[in-house]
Amino acid sequence: MYRTHTCGELRLENIGTPVTLAGWVQTVRKFGSITFVDLRDRYGITQLLFGEALNPQLDDQPLGREFVIQVEGTVTERSNKNKNIPTGDVEITVSKFTILNKAQTPPFTIQDDTDGGDELRMKYRYLDLRRNIVRQNLELRYRVNRAARNFLDSKGFMDIETPFLIKSTPEGARDFVVPSRMNPNEFYALPQSPQTFKQLLMVSGYDRYYQIVKCFRDEDLRADRQPEFTQIDCEMSFVEQEDILNNFEEMLKYIFKEIKGIEFKDAFPRMTYDHAMEFYGNDKPDIRFEMKLVNMNDTVKGNGFKVFDEAELVVAICAKGCAEYTRKQLDELTEWVKRPQIGMTGLIYARYGADGSIKSSVDKFFDESKLKGWAEKTGAQPGDLILVLAGKEERTRKAMSELRLEMGERLGLRNKDVYAPLWVVDFPLFEYDEEDKRWVAKHHPFTSPKPEQISWMDDLSKYGNIKANAYDIVLNGTEVGGGSIRIFQRDLQEKMFAALGMDEEEFNHKFGFLLGAFEYGAPPHGGMAWGFDRLCALLGGSESIRDFIAFPKNNSGRDVMLDAPSAIDQKQLDELQIALK
C-alpha cells in the first residue's frame, strides 16, 4: 500500500499515529540539521520533518522540487503552526522515505502566478494542470457537471447517449468529417449538436432527455472558441416555452446555490429580442448596469449638423458622474470608437456640469437649450456625461453597445462577483445573410415560428418580422444557453426548409429521417442547450473557456502538447481511399 492517508487529512487528533504518505515535493527548506519538506497531493499539503540523524540517506538522495516520494513516519505537533492550511497543526517526523520518481526542474513555476507563457504552458499542459488555479477550475467544472446532473435526474430527465459518427448536413457552421474505410468515398460527420437525435427521442416518447456531450464545429477560431466544446443538451415533450423557461431557470438557480452559495429569490427578468436590440444594442445584454441606449434621431436631426442629419441612427448613452472627464479621457474614448473593431468615425459628447451648464463638442449646432433637450431625452443629471454616436444603423448600434460595455467596465459596473441572469425571448425566426444574399435561420431550421405568424412565411417581405418561439439565457452579457420550441409537423418543417432555400430533393436527402419521424406521431416538444464550458468559466469568474478545459486547443485548432493534428501514414490514406491535394 502506497499510503495510509492523503496529504490533506491529518489533524491534531492524529498525533502519534504511524502513517505512510505519498505525493510531490512542493518545497524543501533546510535549517541546519533539519529539513522541512512540503508534500503535496490533490487533497492538500502536509509538512514533513527530516533530521540528519534519522534520515542520513537524505545526503545521498537529495529531494528536488516535484519529486514523487513516499514517506513513513509519525504524526507530530508542529511548534510553528500554519493557520492557513487545514493540516497546518501537524507534521510528519519521517522515519523512512523512498523516491518513487525523480523530476526535472519544470520549465515554469507551478504557482498561481506562474512565469510560464501561454504556449509553454500548453506544451506542458500536464504541469500547468498541477497549478492550484487550474485544478480549482477543473474541480469547479466537475461540480457544475454533478449539480446539473443531480437537478436533471431529480426532474425525470434521462441521460441518453447519441451517436458521434453521423451524417454531414452542413447548415450554418462547417462539419468535421470522418472518412469511412468500410464505405469508401463516404464520410461521417461529427455532430455540431445532437439536435435531430434529441428530437427523435421525443418522437420516440422519451419525454425528457439530457446529455452532457461534446459537440464539434469546424469554424475559424475566435479568441474564445474551441473546435470541440461541451453542451448540456436537454429536450422535453408536451411543453410550451413557459414550461421550459421555468424548468431551466430552476436549474440555473440550483447550480448557483450549489456552486456559489448564491440564492436568486426572484424570477429572472425577461426581455424581448427587440427590446434588447433597442436599449442595449445586442441580443445578450449585460444588465448588471443600466446605461441604456437612447435613440436621438427625433431630438437631434434638422439642426444643420450633417453628421446627425445624414445618419441612419443617432444614439446616446448617459455616463453617470462622468461630466468631469478630462479632454484626454475623451480623446482616448474617441480613439477607442475609431478602432477598426468598432469602426466609427468619431464620438460626440455633452458634459452636463455640476453647476447645471451643458457644453458639447458640437456647440456650433446645438445651443444650451437644445442640449438640455439631450439631457431630458437621456435622463442625464448635472454631473453626467452624454456620449453620442451617429452613422449607419447596424454598425452604430453595435458600436454603442460596445461603448456601453466599455464605460460599464471603466466605471466598475461589471463586477464579476455579481451575477445578472436574463432571459431574452421572441427572437426573429430568420435573419438575412448579406454575404450569401439569402434568409437563414436565426436559431436553426427546427425552431418553430409564433403560430399566428406562420402565414407570413408565404410573404418574403414579412420574413424579417416573423418571431420564433426561441429564447436565450444570458449571464452578465454572455449567452450561456439557448433553445426553442421545435416544429413537430411535417408540413411546417417542409415549409421552413423551403423558406431557407432547400428544394425537396435536398431536404429529403438531408433530413428525410426527421420528416419521416414527424409522420408517426410526433409530440410537441422543445428544449435547450447550454454552453457548458462558458457556464463554468462564468461561474469561475473567468473570461476564457480555455481555462476550464483540461486539454484545450490553441487558436489554430492545434493541441500543442500532442502536436495534433499531424500527418498520417500513406497506408492510412490508402485504406481510406483518399489523397492529399
Report CA 425 to chain centroid distance, whole Å.
20
Block residue for cell numbers 434568409: 439
Peptide bond into 523 cis (omega under 30): no
Nearer to a second copy among residue 329 and residue 570 (C-beta): 570
Contact flag: residue 572 with a second copy (CB under 8 A): yes
β-bridge partners, 431: 440
* 563 binds a second copy, rule: CB under 8 A: yes
Q: Which of residues 194 and 477 has its CB atom nearest to a second copy in the complex?
A: 194
- DSSP string computed for 9-61: ---GGGTT-EEEEEEEEEEEEEETTEEEEEEEETTEEEEEEEETTT-GGGGTS
How many Cα atoms occupy the beta-carbon half-sphere of 193 within 13 Å? 25
User: Which sign, positive or negative, has the C-alpha torsion 247, 251, 257, 263?
Assistant: negative
Rounded to an integer, what distance in angstroms lies between the CA atom of residue 483 and that of residue 244?
Answer: 9
- Phi, psi for 162 (deg, rounded to 5): -110, 160
Is omega for the bond preceding 163 within 30 degrees of 0, making it cis? no
Site for a second copy in 295-324 (CB under 8 A): none
Q: Which is nearer to a second copy, 43 or 463 (CB)?
A: 43
Q: Select 35 or 162, whichever has its Cβ closest to a second copy.
A: 162
Q: Of 119, 161, 417, 436, which lies in the binding site for a second copy, with binding defined by CB under 8 A?
A: 161
- Per rule CB under 8 A, count of chain residues that contact a second copy: 125
Does the protein bind a second copy through residue 42 (CB under 8 A)? yes
Span interacting with a second copy, options 31-39, 166-174, 335-343, 350-358, rule CB under 8 A: 166-174
Sole binder of a second copy in the list 29, 81, 102, 339 (CB under 8 A): 102
Candidate list 14, 17, 36, 43; residue touching a second copy; CB under 8 A: 43
Residues 330-359 that bind a second copy (CB under 8 A): none
What residues numbered 196-225 form the site for a second copy, per CB under 8 A?
197, 200-201, 203-208, 214, 216, 218, 220-221
User: Is there binding between residue 556 and a second copy (CB under 8 A)?
Assistant: yes
How far apart (Å, rounded) are the C-alpha atoms in residues 326 and 338? Answer: 19
Return the number of the residue (114 or 180) whose C-beta is nearest a second copy. 180
> Which residue number, 63 or 347, has a Cβ lying nearer to a second copy?
63
Of 146 and 416, the one with the shorter C-beta distance to a second copy is 146
Determine, following the binding rule CB under 8 A, whether residue 374 of this chain makes contact with a second copy.
no
Reading the block at residue 224, the C-alpha cell is 474564445
Phi/psi for 485 (5° steps) reads: -80, 135
- The single residue among 471, 488, 497, 507 that binds a second copy, judged by CB under 8 A, is 488
- Per the annotation, binding residues are 171, 217-219, 226, 443, 479, 486, 531-534
Nearest approach, Cβ of 54 to a second copy (angstroms)? Answer: 23
User: Strands 525-531, 187-189: parallel, antiparallel or unpaired by DSSP?
Assistant: unpaired
- What is residue 174's three-state secondary structure? coil
Among 181, 359, 364, 438, binds a second copy (CB under 8 A): 181
Q: How far is the CB of 430 from a second copy (least distance, A)?
A: 23
Q: Which span (74-82, 123-131, 268-276, 427-435) binds a second copy, by CB under 8 A?
A: 123-131
Quote the least distance from Cβ 181 to a second copy, whole Å: 6
179 near a second copy, judged by CB under 8 A: yes
**β-strand 90-101 against 470-475: which pairing, if any?**
unpaired
Comparing CB distances to a second copy, the nearer of 519 and 543 is: 519
Q: Which is nearer to a second copy, 34 or 562 (CB)?
A: 562
- Residue 405 CB-density burial (10 A; 0-12 exposed, 13-18 middle, 19+ buried): buried
149 binds a second copy (CB under 8 A): yes
Binding residues for a second copy restricted to 220-279, rule: CB under 8 A: 220-221, 227-228, 230, 238-240, 242-243
Annotated binding site for ATP: 217-219, 226, 479, 531-534
- Residue 230 burial by Cβ neighbours in a 10 Å radius (0-12, 13-18, 19+): buried
User: Counting contacts by CB under 8 A, is residue 77 touching a second copy?
Assistant: no
Burial of 546 (0-12, 13-18, 19+ CB in 10 A): buried
The three three-digit cell numbers of residue 487, written as one number: 416544429
Q: Report how far apart, in Å, the C-alpha atoms of 505 and of each of 272, 289, 297, 345, 501 are.
A: 36, 50, 48, 48, 12
Nearest alpha carbon to residue 471 among 269, 302, 308: 269
Taking the C-alpha atoms of residue 308 and residue 388, their distance in angstroms, rounded to an integer, is: 10
560 contacts 128 by C-beta, under 8 angstroms: no
List Cβ<8 Å contacts ≥24 apart for 401-406.
401/280, 401/281, 401/282, 401/293, 402/281, 402/341, 402/342, 403/317, 403/333, 403/336, 403/337, 403/342, 403/347, 404/280, 404/281, 404/291, 404/293, 404/317, 405/286, 405/477, 406/333, 406/336
Segments of 367-410 assigned E as strands? 385-391
Q: Is position 162 an interface residue for a second copy (rule: CB under 8 A)? A: yes
Q: Which range in 87-95, 329-337, 443-451, 521-529 contacts a second copy by CB under 8 A?
A: 521-529
Quote the DSSP letter at residue 175.
Answer: P
Stretch that binds a second copy, among 82-90, 297-305, 452-460, 512-520 (CB under 8 A): 512-520
Tell me: does residue 565 bind a second copy (CB under 8 A): yes
Residue 579 binds to a second copy (criterion: CB under 8 A):
yes
Choosing from 387, 522, 529, 535, the residue that interacts with a second copy (CB under 8 A) is 522
163 lines the binding site for a second copy (CB under 8 A):
yes
Triad 58, 59, 63: Cα angle to 5°: 50
Q: How far is the CB of 560 from a second copy (least distance, A)?
A: 10
| C-alpha torsion sign, points 159, 165, 171, 175 | positive
For the bound state, the minimum distance from the C-beta of residue 280 to a second copy, rounded and expressed in Å, comes to 32
One residue of 50, 151, 188, 497 binding a second copy per CB under 8 A? 188
Q: Which one among 85, 133, 166, 440 touches a second copy, defined by CB under 8 A?
A: 166
Least distance to a second copy, CB of residue 332, Å: 36
Smaller CB separation from a second copy, 190 or 474: 190
Stretch that binds a second copy, among 393-401, 421-429, 443-451, 514-522 (CB under 8 A): 514-522
CB of 257 to a second copy, least distance (A): 19
Residue 176 interacts with a second copy (CB under 8 A)? yes
Reduced to 3 states, what is the DSSP secondary structure of residue 126? Answer: helix
